[in-house]
A and B are shown apart, each in its own frame.
Chain A
């Protein structure tokens, strides 16, 4: 990729910026290409002409091919791009905020909170259906994130990175324990949970997409505005304070944005940890430490990674499909391991 070849040190600032911008445009240009693939490819063979046809008679979609194209693949593509962008950004924010390479939506209690809310609403309240799961997961994720922040900020020196990471780990473990306890005694809940836990874009259609899209979009915009703060935080607490950044307020705002992004993403697709964890490392590798660049790179990379994995899972699965969470783990993880091994990833 072109941006990788641009070295930060020697080049004058303006040239560096234009190189990074060119790289970003190039990556962004891949988005429509991938979106086109996502709408034309899938586990069902539909001729290209029929795909285009389907958009012709959009309203009175009659054949199964039309339904699949317009009502299955289009929302799925939009959701994949949005959720991927959201997770990429959320991971970057969290890693910058906690200055910890291990920070991801999972470690901040988001997934555990969402899982607890989903399983709790099935076993304790007896509600079910994907729509309820989405709402419950969103509330659970937000509540868990708030709890992690509250515990992490206990005491005199406020929310230090280490305390937040530990608080996230503790709350994750506690909630997971209770969730498992509820789950093991309820067969119906197990049946639903085992499909939720893997993380998937399949079966999420218009109502869900339109439900979570506003939250995701707001979170994405908010996240893109946080670059300057993250740059300040990266210098350390004292230096950030010296630059006139209010640590307390910054952290609250960042946490809120993360909660919004991860909550909505996890609600829509189930727990997909990998994107938030890996994309920031790749983005920093491509464009250096300046968060004003890392953030848009992470957004585009996240969208590409998630949708790309989903298309792959649809094509590889025969008449069935491989869930995107599975594809990311089995194909994405080895890629990440090789990257860690052979590229010199910057420590935070």
Chain B
């Protein structure tokens, strides 16, 4: 990946005063266009997501008119039946889909840029695996009966990430070692999940398989609220995070030359990514592929303004929203959301591989 500045098309550089002004003007125009794009893409994506959210509210298992949905959402009209569906059932579901998608998309692009590896999304680096082991233990081990699965998953994700960070720390963190340790912890968690799945009863094994696939609507309203609040808290920090990512992209030497200390920056980015992933996993289970795919898709839309956190989050939100709708209503039986995100995400990634190559970028 190249830095935003380097990605700007080279301006014509023929000698001569006039040309130089032209060049400067072109450069300015490109920059301006990039800035507009960096702003417009997330805004448009989020608006599409909002409209789509309204649409799914209207076309749920019970059809509602736009008047009824808006009336209920805004509290203008009182209709017990509609209010229950909109405010208690479908509304929270849609909100959870949007929030989980935003969190996973943002966390995914942060990890990919931080570790400079397109495969390094949280579901590949062991955080989701740790959350899964904790949650499956909550389902399968009789001693944990009644424990809150979202809480277990959240703590499991955080603890795994902390252990990974501590183990990978040796005069700083290298991406390579972090990823290798991630593989080890993921193997450990997978071993535990495998053990639990073979020892528990068939009923619990089924519950665990469902949880492991990931579903929007898994957790209750309290967990959804926590995720929403966390996202709102993150909003003012987005410009800071964006700047940190640019620093990381410059590489250690350049950053050091500019007097930026890399380690706190990396730690902050990892912490944000881990927190978002753990919260999203607590709410919906380890939904596959959203985090992996959202960043690259957003980059395609952003063009030279690539790397945008909000845009990646918006793509994630759209993907979750659509996948959730398909999973609930369009298939012969209702399936967990994670089944659909994988089936939608995989062909897209294959397409990405084929087209990236045509431009000679080689990933």
A170 and B349 form a contact (CB under 8 A): yes
* Cα–Cα distance between A325 and B198 once the two chains are bound (Å): 11
Q: Which of B119, B188, B205, B342 contacts A330 (CB 8 A)?
A: B188
Q: Which of B119, B184, B336, B350 contacts A336 (CB 8 A)?
A: B184
- For A177, list chain B residues within 8 Å (CB): 288, 338-343, 346
* Cα–Cα distance between A322 and B194 once the two chains are bound (Å): 10
State the total of A-B contacts with C-beta under 8 angstroms: 180
Q: Within residues 270 to 299 of chain B, which ones have a CB less than 8 A from any CB in chain A?
A: 288-289, 292
- Chain B residue at smallest Cβ distance from A345: B180
B343 and A326 form a contact (CB under 8 A): no
Q: Which of A157, A190, A333 contacts B187 (CB 8 A)?
A: A333
Q: How far does the Cβ of A308 sit from chain B's closest Cβ, in whole Å? A: 15
B209 and A330 form a contact (CB under 8 A): no
Given contacts A173-B342, A174-B342, A337-B185, contact A166 B209 (CB under 8 A): no
Check if B333 is an interface residue, CB within 8 A of chain A.
yes
B197 and A170 form a contact (CB under 8 A): no
Q: Which of A163, A181, A187 contacts B206 (CB 8 A)?
A: A187
Check if B262 is an interface residue, CB within 8 A of chain A.
no
- For A156, list chain B residues within 8 Å (CB): 357-358, 360
Check if B179 is an interface residue, CB within 8 A of chain A.
yes
* Cα–Cα distance between A198 and B194 once the two chains are bound (Å): 5
* Cα–Cα distance between A329 and B196 once the two chains are bound (Å): 13
Q: Which of A169, A181, A277, A325 contacts B191 (CB 8 A)?
A: A325
* Cα–Cα distance between A336 and B213 once the two chains are bound (Å): 27
Check if A334 is an interface residue, CB within 8 A of chain B.
yes
Q: Mark A164-206, 1 if CB is under 8 A from B, else 0.
A: 0111011101111110110111010011001101110000000
Check if A34 is an interface residue, CB within 8 A of chain B.
no
* Cα–Cα distance between A330 and B253 once the two chains are bound (Å): 39
Q: Which of A155, A166, A327, A345 contacts B119 (CB 8 A)?
A: A166
Q: Mark A90-131, 1 if CB is under 8 A from B, else 0.
A: 000000000001100000000000000000000000000000
- For B37, list chain A residues within 8 Å (CB): none
Q: How far does the Cβ of A161 sit from chain B's closest Cβ, in whole Å? A: 9
Given contacts A173-B288, A337-B167, contact A184 B362 (CB under 8 A): no
Q: Which of A162, A273, A332 contacts B363 (CB 8 A)?
A: A162
Check if A274 is an interface residue, CB within 8 A of chain B.
yes
Enumerate chain A interface residues (CB-CB to B < 8 A).
101-102, 151-152, 154-157, 160, 162-163, 165-167, 169-171, 173-178, 180-181, 183-185, 187, 190-191, 194-195, 197-199, 273-274, 277, 281, 322-323, 325-330, 332-334, 336-337, 340-341, 345, 347
Contacts A/B (CB < 8 Å), 5 sampled: A160-B362, A197-B194, A197-B197, A340-B167, A341-B167
